[in-house]
Structure 1
Amino acid sequence: MNTSGKKFLSILIGISALLLIIASFGDLQISKAVLNQNSIFGNIFQIFGMFPSALIPFISAEIIFIYGLRQKNQISKWILSLSALGFAYWSAWGWVDGWMFYGVTTLNNIKTHQALGAANNSIGATATYSFGLEALFTFIILVIGTFLIYRWLSKKTYEELSQLIVVAIAGIAVVYVSNSIVNTMKVNWGRFRPYEIKEIVSSTKGTFTNWWHLNGATGHQSFPSGHTIAAAAALFLPFFADRKNLKGQKILAYSGLIFTLLMMAARVRIGAHFLSDTTMSLIIAALVTFVATKAIGYSFIEEDSLN
């Protein structure tokens, strides 16, 4: 790993450690000071900010799709291509479904004169929207995404594409392992969200607990943050960059980190999570990404080009 790679990793570790220390002492006070469920910033990220967790599998599936098209064996060609394209569609569907769910619940909150972000993250929250419209938006994303990724990959040699296949598989694994860890922890920690605790909203019955306190399966799922783990999938983006393109790796690595930090701020602002909830998701995403990519011999920012 070169100086740039070490610097990025040091920044990532430093920010994570610092935020967790701050959260350990100031979780409740921070949420009290900044919570605003009508925050436009918070609601925009709540509705649209989860896309990286769908984007990484989508790109990965498209890589497998293009790789399949280059196979000489017709059986392998069609099995790989069709299954990968189906997976890409399914990934895009999850992307659109998240937008529509949070968008519709926000509109419903406006109609019923509630705070924009009220109860959108509660267990059992529901929203009704058009299946056909959702399918149409997904199809449009699939067509545009396939066209753009095909243009990107059309210039790759078969060897370069073969390397990207390994990255694609790692990307899918990173997203689903990270999400599985967070979802399991959510259930077992049973932590109330900031807008559910009486220390902040007097009309509620929940109580504040520190992030290291396991409450068990209470039905409340504040810790860790699901939105943040979804946004933090963006940390994987630099691994799609050509290993010779150090500038591209840097841009994508820092962009992914900045986007994740913005999501973290948005989740705290809207009152859906404490700072420690979001920080733990950042730590989980960083660790899973680091381990998975080291296993295939890659770094966030490479020292030398890989052959």
Structure 2
Amino acid sequence: MSVAEQKRWFIGATGIFVVFMVIAGIWDLQISRHFIDYNSVFGTIFQTFGEFPVYMLLVLSGEIAMAYGFRDRTNGLFSGSLIVGGFALAIWQLRKYLSEIESYSLAVQDNLHRHRPIGLANSDSSEASLNLAVTYVILVFIFIVVTAVLQYWLYNKSDQQVKQLLIVSVFASLTVFLAYEANIALKQAWGRVRPYELNATQSDFTAWYHINGPNGHLSFPSGHSMAATLMIVFAWFTTGKWHRYIWGFGIGYAVLMYISRVRIGAHFMSDTVFSGFLTFLIIYIMWELYRILIAPTNQLQ
């Protein structure tokens, strides 16, 4: 994409962002009131499973590190460190993702048992989990399956391609880290009450541009929306038509997540729109850094 095309995309995206944030600044609460459905199956599914990009990007990066480590014969210490580190990163992130799924799934089960809306779940302090032994059996099984699939994919790559994928994975991991840290920092600074946390009179609602300071409330910006937007980063690991397909799928997936978070009552519209735009900006900056610093001499084949 040329610089001129990038500018057009950026201007268009910024215009859409500004329009939605102005609308949210006026009607955020009203939109939430009319759109919320705590029994939404759509919202509950995305709430339970939808954050996988933020974890799976790091799992993929760990698997690539392992593949490169097994192939490299020039420095045993470095190769061994990559293998061990990649393994630890992959299984750690799988464990975190499974813990999240367990927590939300058990919350749904508890809601059904108590005859409450299925989508009600504390997004900020969910701690329910399965029996530890069951959890680790599931973890080991999924890790073996994921490793088998990804290592088979990497097995068919040349040494040079795996090397370039390793470089891409470093930039992808940094992108995940920056997006996550920015999201957490803003959540804590804004201290915005979530829709389902509002009191009976909704007097504790604050507009998105009002900074409340740290108070335990973490609605603005949306963490799920940040995670879903990172789906776009998977396109970095591909070329040609697959690059375009995954990039387009990432956009669509992110938009569905934004809608689902408002639908289930976990966020206001402005929480999701701001999170999406900020994450897009971080992705763009990191991809341009890769393209400028690395890509001219190291293209994926």
User: Do both proteins adopt the same fold according to a TM-score greater than 0.5, normalized to the shorter chain?
Assistant: yes
What is residue 229 of structure 2 aligned with on the other side?
232
Q: Does residue 287 in structure 1 map to residue 281 in structure 2? A: yes
Q: Does residue 194 in structure 1 map to residue 188 in structure 2? A: no
How far is 1:212 from its partner? 0.9
What is residue 182 of structure 2 aligned with on the other side?
181
Code of the aligned partner of 1:59: L
User: Match for 1:91 among 85, 90, 93?
Assistant: 93
Alignment check: 8 A CA contact 1:189 1:215 kept: yes
Alignment check: 8 A CA contact 2:72 2:79 kept: yes
For residues 29 and 56 of structure 2, what CA distance do their matches in structure 1 show?
A: 33
Alignment check: 8 A CA contact 1:196 1:206 kept: no
Code of the aligned partner of 2:222: S
Q: Does residue 54 in structure 1 map to residue 55 in structure 2? A: yes
Q: Does residue 260 in structure 1 map to residue 254 in structure 2? A: yes
What is residue 120 of structure 2 aligned with on the other side?
118
What is residue 77 of structure 2 aligned with on the other side?
75
What is residue 67 of structure 2 aligned with on the other side?
66
State the secondary structure of the residue aligned to 1:296. Answer: helix
How far is 1:136 from its partner? 2.1
- Structure 1 runs of 4+ off > 3 angstroms? 2-18, 123-126
What is residue 209 of structure 2 aligned with on the other side?
212
Alignment check: 8 A CA contact 1:225 1:281 kept: yes
Alignment check: 8 A CA contact 1:196 1:205 kept: no
Greater displacement, 267-276 / 21-30: 21-30
For residues 43 and 53 of structure 2, what CA distance do their matches in structure 1 show?
A: 17
Code of the aligned partner of 1:116: I
For residues 164 and 71 of structure 2, what CA distance do their matches in structure 1 show?
A: 14
What is residue 248 of structure 1 aligned with on the other side?
242
Code of the aligned partner of 1:193: R
Alignment check: 8 A CA contact 1:67 1:161 kept: yes
Greater displacement, 31-40 / 148-157: 148-157
Code of the aligned partner of 1:272: A
Code of the aligned partner of 1:287: L
TM (normalized to structure 2)? Answer: 0.90
Residues 249-282 of structure 1: per-residue CA shift (max 9 Å, x gap): 1111110111111011000001100010011110
State the secondary structure of the residue aligned to 1:192. Answer: coil
Residues 274-305 of structure 1: per-residue CA shift (max 9 Å, x gap): 0100111101211111111111117xxx9xx7
How far is 1:25 from its partner? 2.4
Residues 38-93 of structure 1: per-residue CA shift (max 9 Å, x gap): 11111010001111111111111111110111110333222211220111001111
What is residue 34 of structure 2 aligned with on the other side?
33
Structure with more helix by fraction = 2
For residues 128 and 306 of structure 1, what CA distance do their matches in structure 2 show?
A: 41
Greater displacement, 172-181 / 204-213: 204-213
Identity between Structure 1 and Structure 2 (%): 31
Q: Does residue 270 in structure 1 map to residue 267 in structure 2? A: no
Alignment check: 8 A CA contact 1:260 1:282 kept: yes
TM (normalized to structure 1)? Answer: 0.89
